C-alpha cells in the first residue's frame, strides 16, 4: 500500500479530531469566550454544516490545481482555521474559525479520497479507501477523549494547537510521499467535473448514503441518555462503552474495506439488514444491559463502516475525482445532521427509545433503495453487473471505470 494512503488517513484523523474536540472542552470554552453551553454546542453544528455546504465550494476553488497542490492548499486553510480558533478570545471569531476548518475538512475528504484512488493499484482501491477512512474511525474513537485529556492538562487552546501541529506534520510529510498527480490538461476542467452530476443514478446512490449514515446517527447521537436513563449504566461507565463502540467501527471498517471492491452491493445490503436488526433489538431491549450492549457494538460493526462500500459505489456511478467525493461527503454529513435531528424530534414526541426506531425507519428506507441493484446482482450472479449498471449513464471513459 502506498505510503501516501496512510498520510491521507492521518490527515482525516486530524480533521475528525478537530470536529469533535469542542464536545470535550465545552465548560472551559464557555468560560473563556463568554458564551453559553448551547452556544458552544452550535460550534459543532457550524463545523458540520460548513463541511456539507462549504466543502464542495472549496473543492471547486481548488479544482484546477494538481492533487498535491490542492491537498497542500487545504492543509494550509485548515491550519489557519485552527490557529484562529486557538487565538480566539470572543465567540464570533471562534464561529468563523469553525466554518473555515469545516469547509476545508469537507473538501479535504474529497481530494484525499481522489488521491487514494489515483495512487492505489486498481485491485486494492477498496482496501485503500477503507484504510484512509480508518482516520475517520480512529478520530471518532479517540478524538473526544484525546481533546478532553489535552484540554484538561494544558487548557482548551492547547487542543487546537495540537490539531494544528499534527496538520503541519502531515502536510510536510505529504510533499515527498505523494507523486505528482493529475498531469492531464483535462483533469481539472470545471465542465468535465460538473457534467457527471447530470446522471440521475449518481444522485440516487448518494441519497442512499445519506439514509445509511442517518440511520446510525439517529441512534448514536443519543446513546448516552439511552444507556444511562433506560439501560441503567452509570455515567462513569458510558465513556468506556462508547470506546467499545468505536473499536467496533474500526474492526468493521477494516473488513468492509477488504470487500468493498469485489462485493459492493452484497456488503451494503447485508450491513443494512444487520444494522436494522441491531437497532430493533436495541429499541426493544434497551432496558436489558447485555442485549443493549450487544446491539450497540453490532451497530458499530455495520453502521458507519459501510463507508468504503458506499464510496466505491458512488465512484462507479460517477468517477473517483475530488468533486464527486466531496459532494458525497456532504451527503454523508447531511445524514449525520438529519439523523440526529429526527432522533431529537422523536424524543420530544415519544421518549428516549424513539431515536432507535427512527434509525430503524431510515435503515429500512435505505434497504428499499437497494432493492433494484440487489436484484440485478442476483440476476446476473456477480458484481460485474453492478459495475456496468452504475456507470452506464456516463460513458466508458477511463475516469468512470473501476477494475474489479
Looking at residue 260, what is its pLDDT? 84
Which pLDDT belongs to residue 93?
A: 95
The set of residues, in sequence order, having a beta carbon less than 8 Å from that of 193 and lying 6+ positions away, is 63, 321, 322, 323, 324
pLDDT band at 28 (very low <50, low <70, confident <90, very high): confident
Predicted local distance difference test score (pLDDT) of residue 382:
52
332-344 burial: b if 16+ Cβ within 10 Å, else e: bbbbbbbbbebbb
pLDDT > 70 in the chain, percent: 90
What average pLDDT is seen over the chain? 85
Predicted local distance difference test score (pLDDT) of residue 200: 92
> Is residue 295's pLDDT more than 70?
yes
What pLDDT does 141 receive? 77
pLDDT digit string, tens, across residues 323-339 = 898 899 899 988 988 88
Task: Look at residue 400 in the predicted model and tell me its pLDDT.
Answer: 35
Cell of 130: 477503507
Going by C-alpha positions, the residue among 186, 185, 174 that lies closest to residue 69 is: 174
Predicted confidence (pLDDT) at residue 189 exceeds the cutoff of 70: no
**Is the pLDDT assigned to residue 404 strictly greater than 70?**
no
- In terms of pLDDT, which residue wins out, 12 or 178? 12
Q: What is the pLDDT of residues 231-272, one digit of tens each?
A: 999 878 887 888 899 889 989 988 998 888 888 999 999 999
pLDDT at 178 over 80: no
- Cα(323)–Cα(305) distance, integer angstroms: 22
Q: How far is the C-alpha of 302 from the C-alpha of 401, rounded, in Å?
A: 27
What does the block give as the cell for 397?
471513459
Distance CA 6, CA 174 (A): 10
Return the residue matching grid coordinates 477511463.
398
Quickly state the pLDDT bin for 371 (edges 50, 70, 90). very high
pLDDT tens digits, 191-227: 767 888 999 999 999 999 999 999 998 998 888 889 9
Of 57-71, 75-89, 195-209, the one with minimum mean pLDDT is 57-71
User: For position 395, what pLDDT does the model report?
Assistant: 41
What number is the average pLDDT over the span 350-368? 94
Rounded CA-CA distance 334/354 in Å is 20
Query: Does 48 score more than 50 pLDDT?
Result: yes
pLDDT level of residue 83 (50, 70, 90 thresholds): very high
What's the whole-number mean pLDDT along residues 363-371?
95
Give the per-residue SS3 of the chain: CCHHHHHHHHHHHHHHHHHHHHHHCHHHHHHHHCCCHHHHHHHHHHHHHHHHHHHHHHHHHCCCCCHHHHHHHHHHHHHHHHHHHHHCCCHHHHHHHHHHHHHHHHHHHHHHHHHHHHHCCHHHHHHHHHHHHHHHHHHHHHHHHHHHHHHHHHCHHHHHHHHHHHHHHHHHHHHHHCCCCCCCCCCCCHHHHHHHHHCHHHHHHHHHHHHHHHHHHHHHCCHHHHHHHHHCCCCCCHHHHHHHHHHHHHHHHHHHHHHCCCCHHHHHHHHHHHHHHHHHHHHHCCCCHHHHHHHHHHHHHHCHHHHHHHHHHHHHHCCCCHHHHHHHHHHHHHHHHHHHHHHHHHHHHHCCCHHHHHHHHHHHHHHHHCHHHHHHHHHHCCCHHHHHHHCHHHCCCHHHCCCC
**Poorest-pLDDT segment among 98-112, 119-133, 214-228, 372-386:** 372-386
Q: Does the structure show a pLDDT above 80 at 383? A: no
Length of the chain: 404
Q: What is the pLDDT of residue 128?
A: 86
List CB contacts of 223: < 8 A, sequence separation 6 or more. Answer: 238, 241, 242, 245, 296
pLDDT over 60 (residue 81): yes
Query: 3-179 architecture in CATH?
Result: Up-down Bundle (1.20)
- Asked if domains 3-179 and 194-392 share a fold, the reply is yes
pLDDT band at 104 (very low <50, low <70, confident <90, very high): very high
**Nearest-angstrom CA–CA distance, 253 and 304:** 8
- What is the domain partition of the chain in residue ranges? 3-179, 194-392
The more confident residue out of 5 and 188 is 5
C-alpha cell at 323: 468533486
Share above pLDDT 90 across residues of the chain, in percent, rounded to a whole number:
38
* Fold of the CATH domain 194-392: Growth Hormone; Chain: A; (1.20.1250)
pLDDT of residue 356: 95
| Cα distance between the two ends of the chain | 17
Average pLDDT, stretch 293-306? 94
Contact criterion met (CB below 8 Å) for 100 and 80: yes
Whether the pTM exceeds 0.85: the reply is no
φ/ψ of residue 241, rounded to 5: -65, -40
Cell numbers placing 393: 449513464
Q: What confidence tier does 133 reach under pLDDT thresholds 50, 70, 90?
A: confident
pLDDT of residue 116: 87
- Give the CA-trace dihedral at 164, 169, 170, 175, to 10 degrees: 130
Rg (CA), the chain: 20
Q: How confident is the model at residue 144 (pLDDT cuts 50, 70, 90)?
A: low
Amino acid at each position: 500500500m502506498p505510503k501516501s494512503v496512510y498520510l491521507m488517513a492521518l490527515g482525516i484523523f486530524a480533521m475528525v479530531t478537530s470536529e469533535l474536540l469542542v464536545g470535550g472542552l465545552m465548560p472551559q470554552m464557555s468560560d473563556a469566550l463568554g458564551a453559553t453551553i448551547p452556544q458552544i454546542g452550535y460550534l459543532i453544528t457550524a463545523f458540520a454544516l460548513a463541511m456539507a455546504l462549504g466543502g464542495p465550494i472549496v473543492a471547486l476553488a481548488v479544482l484546477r490545481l494538481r492533487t498535491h497542490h490542492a491537498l497542500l492548499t487545504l492543509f494550509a486553510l485548515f491550519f489557519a482555521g485552527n490557529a484562529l480558533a486557538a487565538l480566539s478570545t470572543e465567540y464570533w471569531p471562534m464561529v468563523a474559525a469553525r466554518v473555515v476548518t469545516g469547509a476545508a475538512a469537507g473538501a479535504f475528504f474529497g481530494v484525499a479520497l481522489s488521491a487514494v484512488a489515483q495512487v492505489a493499484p486498481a485491485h486494492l482501491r477498496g482496501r485503500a479507501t477503507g484504510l484512509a477512512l480508518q482516520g475517520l474511525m480512529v478520530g471518532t474513537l479517540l478524538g473526544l477523549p484525546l481533546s478532553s485529556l489535552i484540554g484538561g492538562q494544558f487548557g482548551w487552546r492547547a487542543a487546537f494547537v495540537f490539531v494544528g501541529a499534527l496538520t503541519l506534520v502531515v502536510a510536510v510529510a505529504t510533499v515527498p510521499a505523494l507523486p505528482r498527480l493529475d498531469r492531464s490538461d483535462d483533469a481539472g476542467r470545471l465542465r468535465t467535473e460538473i457534467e457527471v452530476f447530470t446522471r440521475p443514478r449518481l444522485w440516487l446512490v448518494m441519497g442512499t448514503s445519506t439514509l445509511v449514515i442517518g440511520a446510525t446517527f439517529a441512534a448514536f447521537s443519543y446513546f448516552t441518555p439511552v444507556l444511562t436513563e433506560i439501560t441503567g449504566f452509570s455515567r462513569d461507565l458510558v465513556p468506556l462503552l462508547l470506546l467499545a463502540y468505536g473499536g467496533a467501527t474500526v474492526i468493521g471498517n477494516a473488513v468492509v474495506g477488504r470487500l468493498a471492491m469485489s462485493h459492493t452491493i452484497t456488503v451494503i445490503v447485508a450491513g443494512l439488514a444487520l444494522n436494522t436488526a441491531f437497532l430493533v433489538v436495541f429499541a426493544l431491549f434497551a432496558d436489558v444491559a447485555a442485549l443493549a450492549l450487544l446491539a450497540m457494538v453490532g451497530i458499530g460493526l455495520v453502521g458507519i463502516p459501510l463507508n468504503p462500500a458506499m464510496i466505491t459505489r458512488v465512484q462507479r456511478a460517477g468517477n473517483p475525482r475530488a468533486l464527486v467525493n466531496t459532494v458525497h461527503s456532504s451527503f454523508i454529513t447531511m445524514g449525520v445532521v438529519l439523523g440526529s435531528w429526527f432522533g431529537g424530534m422523536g424524543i420530544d414526541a415519544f421518549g428516549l427509545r424513539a431515536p432507535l426506531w427512527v434509525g430503524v425507519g431510515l435503515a429500512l428506507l435505505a434497504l428499499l433503495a437497494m432493492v433494484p441493484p440487489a436484484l440485478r446482482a442476483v440476476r446476473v450472479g456477480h458484481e460485474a453487473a453492478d459495475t456496468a449498471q452504475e456507470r452506464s449513464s456516463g460513458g466508458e471513459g477511463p475516469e468512470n471505470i473501476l477494475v474489479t
